[in-house]
Structure 1
């Protein structure tokens, strides 16, 4: 893939009610998907989950979700920089309705899957928040749907807040091979927002001949696709925090997130 295909600037993948729509067909892979839905005050949206499981994650605002006979109220949040949010898990083969009285922006992180799990609410107080790295590599990781924190079939998703002037997704790491006990094969989407506008930067370097190679200037609403390769660093501009949502899924029998760090970068204190 070319850098242009892997870096998706805001608006380039808009489709219908979605400010961003990246399905497996658009990405050229098998599992991971991401949509960003804007709802005006009082507006609602009907959504068929199809062959995928989804997590509805408020970016701004709150909403009510009807799914599988369940009514889930999401309080949401003022912005991605104001803290963690509650969320809703939406199973495959379901018809859902998303409605917002005050309006907002909502991410739908998805993965093609086999098991049909129940619709349910993920409370904000139960989201594990991790401080990772040190110095100018310190960042906050919100593990709302990490492999060991919330039950999904294939979907793995986390949020990261990188303070202004800091690096995250560092040291560069990869998960594009199946190596039992060492590495899992996962497709990944990064979705960015920059506090105050940006820009920030995202690097993906090849792990194999002809592999992903991206150095992108990213702004709010941009996405970067990572089919393979060493990804990182993600660089926040001085004075402007960077947010990104990571969405991952892959073909492995176990839902795991095992990575290998780039051998040319030291890991102590950074990872």
Structure 2
């Protein structure tokens, strides 16, 4: 049933977590959040979530490439029963937190769909749990869709939790690739904090980013790429700061007069 199980302990860090569970028709899953605020977030299919004496019906979607999804926020120190009559693949992004906020349902219409970049760097970002659109204590999450042959998470960048760059968000990338294809993810650090990752990724794969520059995420020609980003960190203020690698930030200027890829948005 479990396809992905990233906890702070298994990742070797403090805050960010992600579990992905596939439920057969009629199957249920019991979620105990412990010290982490957690989302019940459909990748495909729908479900019914019962928590805090309230039942939420989540319509979900047929796939990550078809539409945004509604979801449920479950607070820390809570239990939720999740049932799917037709079957579903569900993500549970989480973050160790301090405040206990109310459980709530968020409709798909609340997702802000943003197009970034242009030309071969065009991509779509679904801001469903970023600081500007969603209240949480520490959790930050979004999903990115990249047409086949394009590059996203580019220029390479990092998310600083404090502005001097010494303490970065712990980030999880969860991937799905259309058509049973493949994609690639790059992560690299500095001489003082070395990290060197170049991974081929397929549906169900995860890349962990404890620190360092990440990008590009490379969608191979013919295969659209999806990834779910889950982030959290120690900062007193929940911020999604983005810092380009200064060696590559100039790349943004090259697409100033290029059109956005006509294949976007994915959801028309």
Partner Cα separation in structure 1 for residue 121 and residue 113 of structure 2: 16
CA contact (8 A) 1:138 1:270 kept: no
Q: Does 1:118 align with 2:102?
A: yes
Partner Cα separation in structure 1 for residue 162 and residue 13 of structure 2: 16
- Give runs of aligned pairs for residues 173-188 of structure 1, distance below 5 A: 173-176=157-160, 178-179=162-163, 185-188=168-171
Q: Does 1:138 align with 2:110?
A: no
Q: 1:268 aligns with which of 227, 238, 253?
A: 253
Q: CA RMSD in A?
A: 1.6
Partner of 1:104: 88
Shift of 1:269: 5.9
Structure 2: unaligned runs, 5 residues or longer: 257-268
CA contact (8 A) 2:161 2:233 kept: no
CA contact (8 A) 1:134 1:269 kept: no
Deviates more, 1:170-179 or 1:20-29: 170-179
Partner of 2:23: 39
Partner of 1:206: 189
Q: Does 1:253 align with 2:230?
A: no
Q: Does 1:243 align with 2:222?
A: no
Partner Cα separation in structure 1 for residue 191 and residue 133 of structure 2: 32
Partner Cα separation in structure 2 for residue 270 and residue 128 of structure 1: 23
Change (3 A) 1:171 1:120: same
- Give runs of aligned pairs for residues 157-176 of structure 1, distance below 5 A: 157-176=141-160
Partner Cα separation in structure 2 for residue 220 and residue 229 of structure 1: 24
Partner of 2:174: 191
Partner Cα separation in structure 1 for residue 238 and residue 138 of structure 2: 6
Partner Cα separation in structure 2 for residue 81 and residue 270 of structure 1: 25
Partner Cα separation in structure 2 for residue 203 and residue 254 of structure 1: 28
CA contact (8 A) 1:171 1:270 kept: no
Partner Cα separation in structure 1 for residue 131 and residue 254 of structure 2: 23
Q: 1:151 aligns with which of 131, 135, 138?
A: 135
Change (3 A) 1:67 1:270: farther
Partner of 2:217: 234
Partner Cα separation in structure 2 for residue 29 and residue 210 of structure 1: 15
Shift of 1:105: 0.3
Partner of 1:220: 203
CA contact (8 A) 1:67 1:97 kept: yes
Partner Cα separation in structure 2 for residue 37 and residue 129 of structure 1: 25
Aligned length: 254
Change (3 A) 1:60 1:134: same
Shift of 1:183: 8.5
Shift of 1:178: 2.3
Change (3 A) 1:192 1:59: same
Partner of 2:259: none
Deviates more, 1:204-213 or 1:162-171: 204-213
SS at match of 1:191: strand
Structure 1: unaligned runs, 5 residues or longer: 1-16
Partner of 1:29: 13
